[in-house]
Structure 1
Amino acid sequence: MRLLPWRSRTARIQVATPGRQYRCARGRFLNLRRKRLCQAGHEGVTTLRTGAAKSIGFEVDNLSSPPGAPHRDTPWNKMRLPAISGVIDRRILANYRIDPACMAAALPPPFRPQTVNGYAIGGICLIRLKRVRPKLFPVPWGIGSENAAHRIAVQWESNGQSMHGVYIPRRDTNSILNSFAGGRIFPGIHHHAKFTVVECGDRYSVAMASDDGGAKVHVSGSVVPAISDSSVFDSLESASAFFEQGALGYSDTLTGGKFDGLELRCRNWHVESLNVDRIQSSYFEDRSRFPSGSVEFDCALLMRDIAHEWHGRPDLCCSLENGSNR
């Protein structure tokens, strides 16, 4: 017996032999006829509300949505925490300018590259969080963690409107709690990783290597007054404005065509320029994804001591039958 996708708030159960008893996830026996999951002697598919399915221990498959539409809540999928608040102790945004065609080929639908002066923009976010806790908890403490996210500035269509934000193909963290909760309670799968951080005044060095060997990152540099002249952004202010509007992020999940949504709200947005003397990213240096000459380092930004909140957003779903650019 298994659950099949069905409309919002209902689930279909495939019944092998109606009328007999089955042991569910909670170890409770179900009499299908007594529970009215199907009529006696009827073999095939029946429906029940997803709340009832969850109450008797079934896992409900993710429900399908139109391409580009927010994913409706399901019993599993929406064990989401309320708004989370904390402090961004340090955030480095190391950015690449990328050939738009190559970037488009690496993106899953419904995303397409958002461009600046003819280039797609991708990068790495290296963020240390402090005092992270549910917003409604009136306490001065919370948890802290080092985290890394590979991110690409994207656009997509939803309900006839053009949206913009970031697509996040991978997240890494040094927090065991985050790696367990990611994709279950906190949006986005988080891979566990080791971080090596050296900070001295205005100089920063952050290296990350994931436990599964899937990602390596190293960024080091010093704070400088202005952005590099070679950047696609004409000023630090224009770079700041571009990344501030990319607050809505969608992360890969284990379900193809489904993306977890998360929005960052900063109470006091402020960035500085970081002059980078070393940058390494196994993702952006992957020549099977980005051929030689298709990606170059552009600029890096630094944020410090930023009060912020994380807000979960409806999942985004896209039918892979429409064709994938991946």
Structure 2
Amino acid sequence: MSALATLRAQVRRRLLITYRVDPDVAASLVPAPLRPQLVNGSAVAGVCMIGLSAVRPGWLRPRFGFRTENVAHRVAVEWDDEGGTRTGVYIVERHSSSLLPVLGGGRLFPGVQRRGRFDLDETKDRFRVRMTAPGIRVAVDVGVGGPWHSELFSSVEDASEFHRQGSVGWSPCAGGGGVEALELTSKEWAAETGVVHSVESSFFDSLPQGSAELDSALVMRDLPFFWDTPRIDLTRGHAVV
């Protein structure tokens, strides 16, 4: 059980790098009863690289928050609910530049996190972000703007809405033995087309050859985000009232 029910932060930059993944390979990455969410016959997975400022409990003023860089390797998932099928993401692993999320993740709030080293080279419309940690590395070079290209989503608006709908993020519990949820919302949700100049992810590169292919990228900037701890019982497939 997490001690903090809500978190707030200002998103300085969020890069959503999306891959098309073989459904069977994606299924091997997520625990039951979660299952990969398919779009046009492919599972959807990716890397979220997010820079946050003013991270704090929901009741605390922004000036008392802290800054952090985070990266998450994720798979879009769905599960059955009494009202039908719900969607979200399963976060295979998280890394953070800050010691506070590493110490508090899975204890004070959902989501076990490991420490990573981040190197940033950013301008207004170009983002070069690299993260290295024991056993994993990821590096992206993404620009803003340009034509939209994707085999999963017909437009940047469709891609943005897909990610907005997948607001519940599931993470392994500390010590194993289940998953716990954190739900992300923003009243000012907005995404732009990202142009991928280069991307390297040891996580996706280690999957069977040809099972993961880069699809598209979104860029989100200067938005307030809010995280809440939903009470969802996966063993019964519905929200706890």
1:149–1:170 CA contact under 8 A, matched in 2: yes
Question: How far 1:201 sits from its partner (Å)?
Answer: 2.3
Q: Which has the larger radius of gyration?
A: 1
Q: Does 1:245 align with 2:168?
A: no
Where does residue 66 of structure 1 map in the other structure? none
Superimposed CA distance per residue, residues 80-132 of structure 1 (whole angstroms, 9 cap, x where no aligned partner)? 21321121110000010011122112221111111111111000000011111
Where does residue 279 of structure 1 map in the other structure? 199
- Residues 119 and 139 of structure 1: CA distance in aligned 2, closer, same or farther (over 3 Å): closer
Question: How far 1:315 sits from its partner (Å)?
Answer: 6.2
Relative contact order, higher structure (CA 8 A, sep 6+):
2
Which of residues 219, 223, 228 is equivalent to 1:306? Answer: 223
Give the TM-score, by structure 1 length. Answer: 0.69
Where does residue 226 of structure 1 map in the other structure? 147
Distance 2:29 2:227 in 1: 27
Superimposed CA distance per residue, residues 210-237 of structure 1 (whole angstroms, 9 cap, x where no aligned partner)? 1xx1321111121123321x43211111
- Residues 232 and 296 of structure 1: CA distance in aligned 2, closer, same or farther (over 3 Å): same
Query: Post-superposition, which runs of at least 4 consecutive aligned residues in structure 1 deviate over 6 A?
Result: none
Q: Does 1:171 align with 2:94?
A: yes
Where does residue 49 of structure 1 map in the other structure? none
Question: How far 1:199 sits from its partner (Å)?
Answer: 0.3
Distance 1:256 1:180 in 2: 16
SS of residue in 1 equivalent to 2:109 = coil
- The structure richer in strand per residue is 2
2:107–2:174 CA contact under 8 A, matched in 1: no
Distance 1:315 1:216 in 2: 32
Distance 2:80 2:53 in 1: 35
| Aligned positions of 1:131-210 closer than 5 A | 131-159=54-82, 161-210=84-133
Which of residues 80, 85, 94 is equivalent to 2:17? Answer: 94
1:147–1:173 CA contact under 8 A, matched in 2: yes
- Residues 236 and 253 of structure 1: CA distance in aligned 2, closer, same or farther (over 3 Å): same
Distance 1:95 1:243 in 2: 10
What amino acid is the match of 1:242?
F
Question: How far 1:260 sits from its partner (Å)?
Answer: 1.6
Give the TM-score, by structure 2 length. Answer: 0.92
Question: How far 1:316 sits from its partner (Å)?
Answer: 5.2
Unaligned residue ranges in structure 2 (runs of 5+): 237-241
| Aligned positions of 1:258-273 closer than 5 A | 258-273=178-193
Which of residues 22, 46, 52 is equivalent to 1:123? Answer: 46
Distance 2:140 2:224 in 1: 24
1:91–1:126 CA contact under 8 A, matched in 2: yes
What amino acid is the match of 2:145?
V
2:55–2:62 CA contact under 8 A, matched in 1: no
Question: How far 1:138 sits from its partner (Å)?
Answer: 3.6
What amino acid is the match of 2:9?
G
1:264–1:310 CA contact under 8 A, matched in 2: yes
2:184–2:228 CA contact under 8 A, matched in 1: yes
What amino acid is the match of 2:85?
S
Question: How far 1:198 sits from its partner (Å)?
Answer: 0.6
Question: How far 1:137 sits from its partner (Å)?
Answer: 2.1
Percent sequence identity is: 39
What amino acid is the match of 1:96?
Y
Range with greater deviation from structure 2 (254-263 or 90-99)? 254-263
What amino acid is the match of 1:236?
V
